[in-house]
Amino acid sequence: MDSNTTTITLRGRLILRMFAQHSKSEHMGVYIVSDQGEYLIRPAAGNPFAENPLMPMAGKIISATGVIVDYVFLVTSWQEVTDND
């Protein structure tokens, strides 16, 4: 990652949506929809082509910390947010 990249925390809802439609890379992607924008979200560590561990949390609201690189939010930590948080 670039040394100019700033770590941020976003709060938003996870949704599933097709990524790279009509290409060889087409697959179901996990996105975070927040007040700051919508980003493809995945763990910073690990294989970007492996199944995303955030996929089972689709529909839930999370708070996640990481960096935004282009259109991807690479997260180092995340947790589900309850209505009381």
Q: 24: domain CATH number? A: 2.40.50.430
Q: State the Cα–Cα distance between residues 4 and 69, nearest whole angstrom.
A: 11
> Which domain covers residue 62, as residue numbers?
8-80
For tokens 């670039």, the residue is 2
22 in a domain, yes or no? yes
Give 10-residue mean pLDDT values along the chain (85 residues). Answer: 76 92 81 95 87 95 96 96 74
69 in a domain, yes or no? yes
The amino acid that residue 14 corresponds to is: L
- The structural domain count of the chain equals 1
85 in a domain, yes or no? no
53 in a domain, yes or no? yes
Separation in Å, CA 28 to CA 35, 52, 81, 85: 22, 10, 23, 29
19 in a domain, yes or no? yes
Total-model pTM = 0.85
The residues with which 62 forms a beta bridge, in sequence order, are: 12, 80
Task: Pick the closest to residue 11 from 71, 72, 60 (CA basis).
Answer: 60
